[in-house]
Structure 1
Amino acid sequence: MGQKVHPVGLRLGITSDWQSKWYTDKKNYSKTLHEDIKIRKFIKEKYKAAGISKIQIERLGEKLRVKILAARPGIVIGRKGAEVEELNKVLSLLTDAKEVTVNVDEVKNPEIDAQLVAEDIALQLERRVSHRRAMKRAIFNAMKAGAKGIKTQVGGRIGGIDLARKEWILEGRMPLQTLRAIIDYGYARAYTKYGILGVKVWIYKGDKLEAQKEEVLNKIEEELHT
């Protein structure tokens, strides 16, 4: 069962949150959903070099808020915020929202961001790097950055052979059925000469209770120092 359930979808409302936050009636639901898909597709394609991890969308009436988490936020922001202003105009044309706000934040640890790790492995595969070497390098960097467990998987015509197969490497812990576990998941595609390879990455960052304890201890230490 752990191999069949999406690790983020399984923990929605427990350790993970929705990427789209809005409510609408049945008539406008499909239209709003397709608007979100258009927004994500446009931003991903235009700012591919920025290393975009997540795109969070919030709607409140006719207001639209888009939060972009990127490894290189400077590419999205542009000089003196020129790119953000242009993006606001484009998103207002793609949607029916009268007021569009775009915020860009930096991903502090890209080595333990599953989506960025998956895209990095896919990029290396496109450059004809060995799949085992690419996966082992990503695992080494993630464990060094503080991950408690990581699993990487590549599927397709690996190495150009006729028969498609899957290969995966796991290091550390990966509790797929523990609901309190904070597991990040990312998926990317590598477009190679022999076909498309699918890359999946799971990163275990600890339990929610442990994270809450660390936050409380950090606050106590700050209060003691002040």
Structure 2
Amino acid sequence: MIKQQVDREQVPFWFDPLCPWAWVTSRWLLEVEQVRPVHADWRLMSLAHLNLVQRKGEGLSEEYRGLMEKAWGPVRVCAAAAEHASRSVLGQLYTAIGTRCHNQRRRDDPTVITEALAEVGLPDALAAAGSSEEFDQLIRDSHDEAFNEVGLDVGTPVLRIGGTALFGPVIRQAPRGEAAGRLWDGLVLVAGTEGFFELKRSRDRSVKPCFD
């Protein structure tokens, strides 16, 4: 296992805390940290901003539009937390929120945010940011850093490897141990290929992310 933090590559990873696919990929990246000299640099993007503002809500079902409206809350709280305690708190807070929303399947539970804030030692008053636009510019700035490079026809997760931002990997279940490292190695090769743009296969919509 990789134990030392010295000379680790910082890997920017843009996430929306409500996205289950980004959650699986984020757990994979934590596995990669254990077997390769990398360190996740957690950053915010907003599915609500992407779908409702940048894409102007085109093609969204009423159900998904409603989900996007709800998606503002958690990412706004994350932005408020980063402003309050520095961006270094995002990894812990993302884990606290994501464990409850995804692993425990409590996405519609209003106590998730306050519980997560308490777990990482942040004031519960930050939960009020979920219904405020105060930190939206911070979200947009972070979001645009990724999407100005990868484009608006993708979603989350986005990560940057060696100066190249990529959408994905979109995986159903996080590989563990050396299997996680091998997937990382493949992405490093792809990201280092001059002129590379896309590698994709259609996803069966019946396939759901696995959080176990």
Q: What TM bracket, shorter-length normalisation?
A: under 0.3
More helix by share: 2
Using the size of structure 2 for normalisation, the TM-score is 0.27
Q: Which one has a bigger Cα radius of gyration?
A: 1
More strand by share: 1
- Work out which structure has the larger RCO, using CA pairs closer than 8 Å and 6 or more positions apart in sequence: 2
Using the size of structure 1 for normalisation, the TM-score is 0.26
